[in-house]
Amino acid sequence: MALIIPKRYKQKLLPETTEVAIKLIKDRFQKQLARELNLRRVTAPLFVLAGTGINDDLNGVEPPVSFGISCMGGRRAEVVHSLAKWKRMKLGAYGIDPGYGLYTDMNAIRTSEDLDNLHSLYVDQWDWEQTIAEENRTLDYLKQTVGKIYHAVKETEWMIYEKFPHITPRLPESITFLHSEELLQMYPDASPREREARAAKQHGAIFIIGIGSELSNGEKHDGRAPDYDDWITENSDGYRGLNGDIVLWDSVLETPFELSSMGIRVSADSLMRQLEVCHCTERASLPFHKSLLAGELPYSIGGGIGQSRLCMFLLQKAHIGEVQASIWPEEQIATCARHGIHLM
């Protein structure tokens, strides 16, 4: 999306107070998330070895930042895009029982991003993963988990209101679940982005199910790599997909606001089906994929929740650079400054 300049924008917190509020949000939300999903914090890598299949491929086209390691004969390492696969391996290594899991601070560099109000070169997330029983690989379990995450967001929003009463809550009482195919049927002439905008504006907070699966028009709502979320399994609603995105309506920017990407992870069967659909079955020979196909990894559900995005939304900021230190085009910095949007 292009840079959005809200009309008559006014910061609700000065930069110094914003720093205090950011810490309040991060401290409260991660504790609430851990409580809701029975998670414990672990330490995560900033980079992983290339060629292992561990790094997240996102939409399958974004190249990772990489570098050679002199003392390892020039082997390449990649800065993580996210930790979708690494977390599942860690669940298995720690022997974490179903219903319990882990979370971590994930820091990434995504050089392919178009920099605007919501997108930065620097990505910070709470990456989380929970072990589940095979019988919980269902749409109902996915929805229950989304509801718990949304409750944690709502609790944090209320905390901010108590600390700063002029920042009034915006989120609806509950989140609305919609499949990407339902959105297509509701708005057949609209683009995926426009469908998200109309639904998010109507409901305030939505969870779009089935990201990555092909819709009835032969297109996808959005891309998803084939080897972490399960977007091919038919669910109880008769549609495909056990994954999705949490999308809020941002009344400051008047735009849909993606907060989280998550889902039930692939089984051995759905992994192979998705690799076949995406014409990349050669990945089955990579270490991560071999472990999964051999039944060595637990069933799981997981995702990422944007830390700076959550702060931006709850503090009602107009640009992610108001809550995060990163690099921005000089023209964008100047344009924002002229309109009272001061980037860190």
Output Rg (C-alpha) for the chain, integer angstroms. Answer: 20
Report which of 182, 185, 148, 188 is spatially closest to residue 303, judged by C-alpha positions: 148
Q: Which two tokens stand for residue 214?
A: 């092909």
Q: Which residue among 82, 125, 180, 324 is the active-site one?
A: 125
Q: Does residue 258 carry a catalytic annotation? A: yes
Instruction: Report the C-alpha gap between 161 and 127 in whole angstroms.
Output: 26
DSSP assigned state of 14: -
β-strand partners of 79: 47
Instruction: Report the C-alpha gap between 344 and 334 in whole angstroms.
Output: 13
Q: Is the Cβ–Cβ distance between 101 and 300 less than 8 Å?
A: yes
Q: Does residue 125 carry a catalytic annotation? A: yes
Q: Which residue among 30, 120, 261, 316 is the active-site one?
A: 261
Instruction: Report the C-alpha gap between 247 and 206 in whole angstroms.
Output: 5
Separation in Å, CA 264 to CA 38, 137, 210: 16, 6, 11
Separation in Å, CA 143 to CA 174, 208, 215: 12, 11, 21
Q: Which residue among 28, 56, 224, 270 is the active-site one?
A: 56
Q: Does residue 251 carry a catalytic annotation? A: no
Q: How crowded is the C-beta side of 282, counted as CA atoms within 13 Å?
A: 3
Q: Does residue 170 carry a catalytic annotation? A: no
Q: Which residue among 28, 88, 110, 309 is the active-site one?
A: 110
Q: Which residue among 36, 155, 222, 258 is the active-site one?
A: 258
Q: Is the Cβ–Cβ distance between 26 and 33 less than 8 Å?
A: no
* E strand residue ranges, the chain: 39-41, 47-49, 66-69, 75-79, 101-109, 122-131, 176-179, 205-209, 243-250, 255-264, 300-306
Instruction: Report the C-alpha gap between 328 and 335 in whole angstroms.
Output: 11
Q: Which residue among 57, 245, 250, 322 is the active-site one?
A: 245
Catalytic residues: 56, 110, 125, 245, 258, 261
